[in-house]
Structure 1
């Protein structure tokens, strides 16, 4: 399993070369061609720093950063500095920084690394991806890799070029590392328990997912400062084309594990809609430290005091004939003691598998198994399935509830969202070692971004 990489296997990466066209290296950089050498490009989102929250065997500690000068770069460097200076398991990254408006061309010309990490303003992200791949560099990109239909077309070209140049293009899908999601997927493979995935209907989908995010939040213990462009759907991306990518990814990853999805044949987007979340000027100021709305947001402002940001969206679609519905929602701030939440329902012919994260669950992701026919035979088969899954996830179990069972998961598996970035990096390092992605990864990334960008196109042309 991807989350079971051992230190030994990661250390082996230091002995394995990765596909790259390596150029000059900075003084102090390990020039061993087998090392993974990171380039951080225009880090406008805190996810770029979370990739560096831990150290990895086989990755050079020198990271080359190319970005325009300003607050976003300073915020990124401050987070990396915080990780370097913490008391427990400090990192030891060395940031070599190039500041200038020609940062993209300079990065391509210098080529001081072989893996480009991209997380920031999404307006130019697909362009960054294309130019990095054209230069023969591997790319690890935060979601979304495309936020419009035009961006999707450019992303297709990027994948084609990556194949020609034998480099990897991969997006950061942290939700695959969340333990309840992993176990939901594992239970779906147990036909004695789950049966098979129902087909469902548009009004009663077989798969339903909803995520609720919050603008005001804490990252690594500090209140997060949002850039003003984050509230512009033309720069950050619409909800369905941004965080909606996580949900579409999980629908594919859980419903059809390790299966290739052809977006031209297997995906039909039936309907999509989007709507606003109102934010007051004082709320906007609390997040951005700005006392007025910038001009590019004026079209969303009412009476100079309320920003109606298009932050919510849903998609109804079919995938291999299975009806699915996803919804991505944004609120200002989470209730006390809670945070971002996730709901996930898969309807099987023998049982439904549901992840809830509400007040009853103390805002912690909780996996429920609700059989369609609750009897002793089902319980016996469930216990046998749990025993089988526990071979890889020791300590898990189930407890009886009114409607069925609840999964009991040891706290050691509940590492938190920020730690999932390191787990994604471990997956990516393994793929670099293998010099290829799994056969299904690339076509399924394409299917994912087709779904989100096609839905946005439908929602905006009604």
Structure 2
């Protein structure tokens, strides 16, 4: 009897010890690997030093301007006078950089942010090696990529690693408040069904090819302008917009791509660049692979697009527009509209808002002004409990939302928490699949203007 009791105690201690080891392993610092960085988003987790991230970062890439741009960005962060970072970069630039990364496995999480035509392979190989994958959007730019992405998610589940694309717009306070106010039934009611000509959910972005880092133009790689490498406009930036539609309108709900989403129409059109404009952006002349987009030396870039679709029966639209150069004092802008049975929630970021994201509330047709004013007062008191200083300021026939005090976070902090806990919300993966089902599905029957 004593022997049996001793065995039971020993087994219990072993189980507890094993559980502790597993828990500690999950909370162990994240060691980052950067694979073939070709986009500025490769540095998104290195803007400052984060708890949970090892300062030593291993970089594997082909030699060339893309990795040099990444290294220059890290060097600037490490040498800045205010809150400098302390990243220690270990660089490998052999032609066998991918195989070298997989063989050495110097980290447990890989950031993939570069040429989108390579992503499907990079993602698959990294997951096979047992690495968490943080891939910059888009994870898929063609219907074929989408099928490969679904397979990668299945493999990630078997390997017990995470695959996801960090979404910055979720952590902007204006978007957070639009989401929360839409969930406030006494104010918003429920989503209207809308129509293809008058959708109830609209997300739109304006972007610029030429941006400045200080006084110098920020460099974009030449392949960024090839839809066979970067993807169409509606499979690139629109990823953020489709994500915002799902996240704001159907919070914490698990979506079924085939059952909940129906593509109605999609179209795309070009932004044209002159040779001098292209060279200022890229530092190079036109490479051969872009010649198919040239006419009389003018480069036509299929960067602009629009998708009309329904999600759970609600008519939705996302559109993205690219211009050559951002105006002085401005930058990229975001627009979002949610139409409810009691109110509209509209996010604007134009000149009137001094290019700062500003949320407006307007009573829906048929809602009396006196009753709506009372509801506004009730909502104001309710939100002030969570956001001290929150206010709703009347201007004409609408109300401007003043956010008040809030605790800011960002996609890097969320990514760190996902990996340390080795867990994401139950809706994240199915909704990722729904998102790319929408964007890649939209190019099957795309029309060109």
Q: Provide the TM-score with structure 2 as the length reference.
A: 0.91
Which residue of 418, 432, 436 corresponds with 2:423?
A: 436
User: How far does residue 17 in structure 1 lie from its aligned partner after superposition?
Assistant: 4.3
Q: Which residues in structure 2 correspond to 1:45-64 (within 5 Å)?
A: 45-64=39-58
User: How far does residue 413 in structure 1 lie from its aligned partner after superposition?
Assistant: 6.4
Alignment partners' CA distance in 1, 2:150 and 2:120: 10
Conserved? CA contact 1:178–1:414, under 8 Å? no
1:333 aligns with 2:320: no
Counterpart of 1:447 in structure 2 is 434
Cα deviation 1:232-280 (Å, max 9, x = unaligned): 1111111110000000000000110000000011111111001101111
Paired residue secondary structure (1:60): coil
Counterpart of 1:118 in structure 2 is 112
Conserved? CA contact 1:18–1:435, under 8 Å? no
Which residue of 278, 295, 301 corresponds with 1:302?
A: 295
Conserved? CA contact 2:217–2:280, under 8 Å? no
Which residue of 294, 303, 311 corresponds with 2:303?
A: 311
User: How far does residue 436 in structure 1 lie from its aligned partner after superposition?
Assistant: 1.2
1:457 aligns with 2:449: no
Conserved? CA contact 2:267–2:448, under 8 Å? no
Conserved? CA contact 2:271–2:302, under 8 Å? yes
Conserved? CA contact 1:186–1:389, under 8 Å? no
Cα deviation 1:112-160 (Å, max 9, x = unaligned): 1001011111111121111111111101111001100110011001000
Which residue of 156, 180, 184 corresponds with 1:186?
A: 180
Alignment partners' CA distance in 2, 1:221 and 1:187: 40
Larger Rg over CA atoms? 2
Gaps in structure 1 of 5+ consecutive residues: 1-14, 20-32
Paired residue secondary structure (2:442): helix
User: How far does residue 222 in structure 1 lie from its aligned partner after superposition?
Assistant: 4.5
Q: Which residues in structure 2 correspond to 1:32-111 (within 5 Å)?
A: 34-111=28-105
Counterpart of 2:388 in structure 1 is 394
Distance 1:220 1:192, change over 3 A: farther
Distance 1:254 1:18, change over 3 A: farther
Alignment partners' CA distance in 2, 1:224 and 1:293: 18
User: How far does residue 344 in structure 1 lie from its aligned partner after superposition?
Assistant: 0.6
State the Cα RMSD in Å: 2.0
Conserved? CA contact 1:17–1:35, under 8 Å? no
Alignment partners' CA distance in 2, 1:114 and 1:379: 53
Deviates more, 1:254-263 or 1:219-228: 219-228
Conserved? CA contact 2:269–2:448, under 8 Å? no
Distance 1:167 1:376, change over 3 A: same
Conserved? CA contact 1:39–1:115, under 8 Å? yes
Counterpart of 1:171 in structure 2 is 165
Alignment partners' CA distance in 1, 2:384 and 2:77: 34
User: How far does residue 164 in structure 1 lie from its aligned partner after superposition?
Assistant: 0.5
Paired residue secondary structure (2:446): helix
Alignment partners' CA distance in 1, 2:202 and 2:116: 27
User: How far does residue 433 in structure 1 lie from its aligned partner after superposition?
Assistant: 3.0
Alignment partners' CA distance in 1, 2:190 and 2:151: 36
Alignment partners' CA distance in 2, 1:16 and 1:282: 56
Counterpart of 1:348 in structure 2 is 340
Conserved? CA contact 1:18–1:432, under 8 Å? no
Gaps in structure 2 of 5+ consecutive residues: 1-21
Conserved? CA contact 2:28–2:420, under 8 Å? no
Distance 1:395 1:191, change over 3 A: same
Paired residue secondary structure (2:322): strand
